Amino acid sequence: MLYVVDYTEANHSGGVVFAVFFTLKDGNQVFNIQNNAKFTKKGDDVEFVDPPLGGTWTQQHLISAIKQIELSQTVTTSTTDLITPAPTVHCESYADGK
């Protein structure tokens, strides 16, 4: 599993966090987004704009991921690099109804 944070504020005071699971399906890498949540941050306090699905356990893990990512090296990717996925990559979400 991989947590990804998309900061919407330059000072990292808000954004969206994603929980992404990786699997192989028919020889292709599948990126399955299991959860996402919009958050705001003041100091060390993280609050969700709309609580993510999964209750307290999920919220605690997402908060922990946000805090760990904040202390890690930041990787920036341009949106143009994300527009054309590799032909062997398939993305899906619980919202896809699969």
* Model pLDDT for residues 68-95, shown as the tens digit of each residue: 998 888 777 777 777 776 777 766 666 6
Three-state DSSP class for 57?
Answer: helix
Dihedral sign computed on CA atoms, order 76, 64, 92, 10: negative
Provide the residue ranges of all domains of the chain, joining segments of one domain with +.
2-96
Q: Which has the closest alpha carbon to 34: 11, 67, 57, 13?
A: 57
Q: What is the mean pLDDT of residues 50-78?
A: 88
CB atoms within 10 A of CB 98: 7
Three-state DSSP class for 90?
Answer: strand
pTM of the complete model: 0.77
